[in-house]
Chain A
Amino acid sequence: MILRSVIMVVVVVVVGILSSASQALRFELQSGHTKCISEDIKSNSMTVGKYHVVNPNEAYPLPDSLKFAVRVTSPQGNSLHTAEKVETGQFAFTAAEDGDYMACFWAEDHSPQIIMTVDFDWRSGVQAMDWSNVAKKGQVDVMELELKKLYDTVTSIHEEMFYLREREEEMQALNQATTSKMFWLSFLSLFLCLSVAGIQFWHLKTFFEKKKLI
């Protein structure tokens, strides 16, 4: 049991490859275990995350033992947000670089093993904008808001197509490089084979001549 609590059971959940992915998910966190969620975020995009423990009994207040620690790290490993022994919280930041940002949750060991349900809402890109604020500011009506959202979705689709195109180009270059490498390597192996055979032949010839067998 101790070993199990020492070994971090990390369920790595990579959420969303698209920068405008959004998720609100619930997962179960066992005491003594760790669960990590990571998301691929593009640089210069806003990210907002909210987490809280789900109360198993609606009628009663939350018991003290249902607390966990959280840490959000950048792809470089810098810690962007940490919290210890909390049951709710939130974080927001603008991604400085492209890459996988990871949010890890761990619950301390407890003698009867507790399994708590953590509700985690992590939005980045388009979904991170607080739409209610935008509505109040510009006094736009709901339909215009919806159309604005659609426009942003279309823009992100367009950007994603560019990204996919770039990746395809890189893959083509990679395959070309592999083909040409194989071509040259096959010549090299032929040359190596012949030279090894030649060296063997020459060496044995001089050896036998020295031994006066030839």
Chain B
Amino acid sequence: MERKWRKISGLIGLLLLNFMNNVSSLSLTITKVECVYEIVRFEGDIVSGNFVVVDHHIFWSSDHPGIDFSITSPGGDILHNLKGTSGDKFSFKAPRSGLYQFCFHNPLSTPETIALYIHIGHIPNEHNLAKNEHVDPINVKIAELREALEAVTTEQKYLKARDAVHRRTNESTKKRVIGYTVGEYILLTIASVLQVVYIRRLFSKSVGYNRI
């Protein structure tokens, strides 16, 4: 797992997500700004998703400001704006079809890794079909059922990502506990040995010198 996060250097290209399927899950590494694009085919589709900051830098220093996240509609308005977070869920109804932009901004220069999941759900209704076509109500119900299941899947991905982050925290805590304790023992022993050596040296010349 570690080798993935280490191979980061320099610029990071933009990933244009093609909306061929309506789910996309990926994790990006951001040094400054990173944007991900999704094409929403129909107006009124529900776009839902979540992201979790996976990298360990964010909990090493407790004064890390967090990552900024924003969603921009094709018209240019900002639909969602979060500052200084370490993970969140989002869900909105697309006001129009087009290219939606999901942008992350990293205020510090250390690269952060983010696990992102976006799902675009479409339920067929009368508006999207040609005039002589007709929507079978059972298809609508099936689509609603599918969307409900996708909501569960979205939630599971979020839980899985958070579980991975917590696991990393706990494993690093265990390593640090042992590391610091052993280091403490060694330091204590060295300090006491140095103390004894110094005291011996103080008294090694004969007392007549009156050095103390």
Contact = CB atoms under 8 A, between A and B. Distances in A.
The size bracket of the interface on B is 35 or more
A199 to B, nearest CB: 8
The size bracket of the interface on A is 35 or more
B157 A26 contact: no
A26 B15 contact: yes
Contacts of A167: 163, 167
A117 to B, nearest CB: 7
A62 interface: no
B156 to A, nearest CB: 5
Given A13-B28, A119-B18, A177 B157 contact: no
A28 B13 contact: yes
B156 A160 contact: yes
A14 B26 contact: yes
Contact of A7 (B9, B177, B196): B9
A94 B124 CA distance: 35
A192 B188 contact: yes
A150 interface: yes
A126 to B, nearest CB: 10
Given A17-B115, A100-B4, A182 B177 contact: yes
Contacts of A204: 196, 199
Contacts of B13: 9, 11, 27-30, 33, 35
A91 B191 CA distance: 62
Contact of A38 (B4, B178, B184, B207): B4
5 contacts: A25-B15, A38-B4, A156-B153, A157-B149, A160-B153
